A and B are shown apart, each in its own frame.
Chain A
Amino acid sequence: MALTGRAGLLALLGVVFVGVAMPSWTGILLVLLVVLVCVGIDLALAGRVRSLTFTRSGATQVRLGETVSVSLTVRNPGRRRVRGVLRDAWPPSAGVVSDRFSVDVPAGASRTVSVELQPVRRGDRIASRVTVRSLGPLGVAARQGSHAVPWTVRALPPFHSRKHLPPLLERLRELDGRRASLVRGQGTEFDSLREYVIGDDVRSIDWRATARTTDVMVRTWRPERDRQVVIVLDTARTAAGRVAGELGGLPRLDTAMDAALLLSALAIHAGDRVDLIAYSRQVRASVSRASLPELVSAMAPLDAELVEFDARGMVAEVLRRARQRSLVVLLTGLDPAALEEGLVPMLPALASRHRLLVASVTDPAVTTMARGRGDAAEVYGAAAAERTLAERRHAKALLTRLGVDVVDAVPAELPPSLADRYLALKAQGKL
């Protein structure tokens, strides 16, 4: 049950009554009795909350930053009308504008309210409870009760870098040709045999095939397809770091996801297969031969954990999963100590079977600090930043020496840089 302001007002009127007409305990008890009787009447005559039934419908996922609505239908199977307030409670990060609605559901009827959600964070937003406060006829007291009406809205990564996709696809088409190439070269594989037409390069004539048929046959080539790309997301300690950028400062993990999505979109268009593994000390999420929506959905609930990245475990997992020679894209921080202890000893095992590409987010704030001059605090800051930059350069050089491609860019640049590197590798036939 719940009281309303009217119960308090009634008691306030009682102050005048007790003060003027009946200044005694009897007066106070009398006023209290009147209030209690009113409350009793309201509680007895208010519509039942317990027997209400609820159904939900509407969106189950939303790209971060966009708004969706989820409808909630209240059915009143009771004999009395339910009039009052309804609250559809969601977690704060679901970004609900208004979760309170005034409802008036006659007996046997149903009403629908619609909640607008604009999630402020990636991940699953789970509806909490629906609470109804059903007022009595006097409006002095109300019945109140809650119902669990499960519903989940998954806030997907925003994929801001999709604006880079059209030019990349254009380059991919150039590379791909959409027409079979007669020139054999790096990054191409045998496509088919066809009859010679005037203008074809005579060097591409397949003499054995010509001998078997009555026509002159030429071989055609096409870019490699059906390569495997394994994207590994580091979701450990360093992924939690928020890096200042044009998007208002996102965790490294979010930038890494953006880059992974752009790369996946491109690779899927190019006919390659994409696997995703999110790893910290164990596999957090994994999808194989995934479509873009599957990847987006798998990434949505991931958050960085405060643990050290287990590079050995990650390498073992990749080796176990990827039987075929693959391009392994590791999205991680270039932390020299972690690299030297974890990743470097395992590199030979990985590099002998796969091609490794390490992509990392540079913090532009550190570069800015390195240019700090003027007073002692700034110069000490510059020295510390120079040290960090030197460590990163060292780590990068180390990896490059070991035959690993490294992409190191500020948040806004990372997704297109990674995609560029992928296209370059594809063009060179190094996948």
Chain B
Amino acid sequence: MTATSPDARRIWSVAKGPTLVALVILASSLIVALLSAPGEGGELDPRSATEQGTRALAKLLERQGVTVEFTETTPSTVDDATLLVTRPDLLAPEHLAALRPADLVLVAPTQWLPPGAQVAGGSDVQDQQPGCAWAARFGEATTGGVEYTGGDSCYGGSVVRLGSVTLLGTGAPMMNKSLADKGNAALAMTVLGRHQKLVWYSPAVADPGQQRSLIALLPDGWKFGLLQLIVAIVLLGLWRARRLGPVVAEPLPVVVRAAETVEGRARLYRRSRARGHAAALLRQASRDRIVAALGLPVDAPPAAVADEITTRSRDEVLALLYGPEPGDDRALVRLADDLDALENEVCS
């Protein structure tokens, strides 16, 4: 049997490693997902049981008969309800002004404030005495954060009432971790539990639901046709991707141009402006040829060579064959031409 295609056993032996790895990854991610499920939600989220969450307060309110309605999008009907906005700064000021609830509670607003209120400064979140009439019954509470002026100012300006609007400098008294401390629960429940319904509005960064997506506007025929087109493209891709046997590789022999070292050396001479060296090499080569043509010994002294050449003056020949190095590249090029001319005269 000459077949080299893998059979089922070989496929399994190759694939079991990756399969095992994939299974382990899948199982571990499932376990992580299951273990971390209850921790959902962030700060001031009535579904969250973390320290920053407010699930305890929501449960307490519900036990008192208040309906808590959590929303991340703009609530529709708030006429007869308390509206709590946990991150009012994420909403446009005019958007916030347009909401007309029976009671409005804002947590640490700075962008939009009801008429008559102003931001006065800030302080650390800590237990404080109320210092005003309407909050006296709650006693000490965990307050602080942003401070305001105007209206009924309590807890050093960090809880302020202006008519139906209540400003809280911090969400700390509502959080799970501090709800049971001091008068926090009394403060929070009084502020939020005035009406039968509480709308808990945590604006998302980009308030969705304002427009329907493009895909939702497409007719089903187009949508599913497109999906089917993707299936078809995948199948066509599989058709084109399948090769008729593997690519054949082969080692290639080492082949370099033999003159490369010479060219490299020439570039080195040029870059380092080795004019003297280049001129010496050219002169040596010319001398060798001239000496051979004149029939002189290889190590003939300069004077002997110059004497043998009759076409030029002795000094000219000495300057050309044994002279100083040329001053610049143009002089070098001239020297090469002059050497050629001299060789032609001697050898012809």
Residues of A within 8 A of B (CB): 2-5, 7-8, 10-12, 14-20, 22-25, 27-28, 31-32, 35, 49-50, 53-54, 85, 87, 89-93, 100, 121, 128-131, 133, 144-149, 238, 240-244, 249, 251-252, 303-306, 363, 365-366, 369-370, 373-377, 379-390, 393
Contact = CB atoms under 8 A, between A and B. Distances in A.
Interface string B214-256: 0000011111110111011101101100101110111001111
Contacts of A147: 2-4
B5 to A, nearest CB: 4
29 contacts: A2-B242, A3-B239, A11-B236, A12-B236, A16-B225, A18-B224, A18-B225, A19-B224, A19-B225, A27-B224, A87-B244, A129-B248, A133-B244, A145-B5, A240-B253, A242-B256, A244-B257, A251-B253, A365-B258, A369-B262, A373-B337, A380-B270, A380-B278, A381-B263, A386-B281, A388-B261, A388-B265, A389-B285, A390-B281
A32 B244 CA distance: 25
A129 B336 contact: no
B96 interface: no
B266 A363 contact: no
Interface in B287-339: 288, 329-330, 332-333, 336-337
A148 B285 contact: no
B269 interface: yes
Contact of B239 (A4, A24, A240): A4
A3 B258 contact: no
B17 to A, nearest CB: 23
Contacts of A129: 4, 245-246, 248
A209 B278 CA distance: 72
Contact of B255 (A24, A242, A363, A377): A242
A14 B238 contact: no
Nearest to A304: B254
Contacts of B222: 19, 23
Contacts of A4: 239
Contacts of B242: 2-3, 144
A19 B5 contact: no
Interface in B188-225: 219-225
Contacts of A11: 228, 231-232, 235-236
A375 B232 contact: no
Contacts of A144: 5, 242, 244
Nearest to A25: B224
B259 A365 contact: yes
Nearest to A86: B244
Contact of A240 (B5, B255, B332): B255
B269 A5 contact: no
Contacts of B137: none
B248 A90 contact: yes
B285 A370 contact: yes
A54 B255 CA distance: 37
A91 B333 contact: no
A91 to B, nearest CB: 4
Nearest to A131: B245
A240 B232 contact: no
A373 B244 contact: no
Contacts of A386: 281-282, 284-285
Given A5-B239, A144-B242, A383-B266, 9 more contacts: A3-B239, A8-B233, A8-B239, A49-B5, A128-B245, A129-B4, A369-B262, A379-B282, A390-B284
Considering the complex of A and B, which 7 residue pairs feature the smallest CB-CB distances, nearest first?
A: A241-B258, A19-B225, A131-B245, A8-B236, A11-B232, A383-B278, A145-B5
Contacts of B260: 241
B4 A373 contact: no
B248 A390 contact: no
B100 interface: no
A57 to B, nearest CB: 16
A24 B220 contact: yes
Given A128-B248, A148-B4, A241-B256, A387 B236 contact: no
A121 B2 CA distance: 28
Interface centre among B2, B227, B233, B258, by most chain A C-beta atoms within 10 angstroms, is B258
A384 B277 CA distance: 10
A24 B4 contact: no
Contacts, number: 222
Nearest to B222: A19
B258 A146 contact: no
Nearest to A374: B333
A269 to B, nearest CB: 32
Contacts of B51: none
A90 B249 CA distance: 9
Contact of B232 (A12, A128, A251): A12
A381 B266 contact: yes
A5 B229 contact: no
Nearest to A4: B239
Given A49-B5, A50-B5, A92 B248 contact: yes
Contacts of B3: 49-50, 145-147
Contacts of B79: none
Given A7-B239, A144-B242, A390-B284, A28 B228 contact: yes
Contacts of A304: 253-255
A89 B246 CA distance: 9
Given A19-B224, A145-B3, A146-B245, A366 B259 contact: yes
Interface in B1-53: 1-5, 7
B231 A31 contact: yes
A4 B238 CA distance: 9
Interface centre among B1, B223, B266, B337, by most chain A C-beta atoms within 10 angstroms, is B266
A278 B229 CA distance: 63
Contacts of B267: 380
B340 interface: yes
Contact of A384 (B232, B263, B288): B263
B259 to A, nearest CB: 4
Contacts of A24: 220, 224
B228 A379 contact: no
Interface centre among A23, A89, A365, by most chain B C-beta atoms within 10 angstroms, is A23
Contacts of A10: 235
Contacts of B337: 373
Nearest to A302: B253
Given A146-B5, A376-B329, A93 B250 contact: yes
B256 A390 contact: no
B221 to A, nearest CB: 4
Contacts of A100: 244
A363 B259 contact: yes
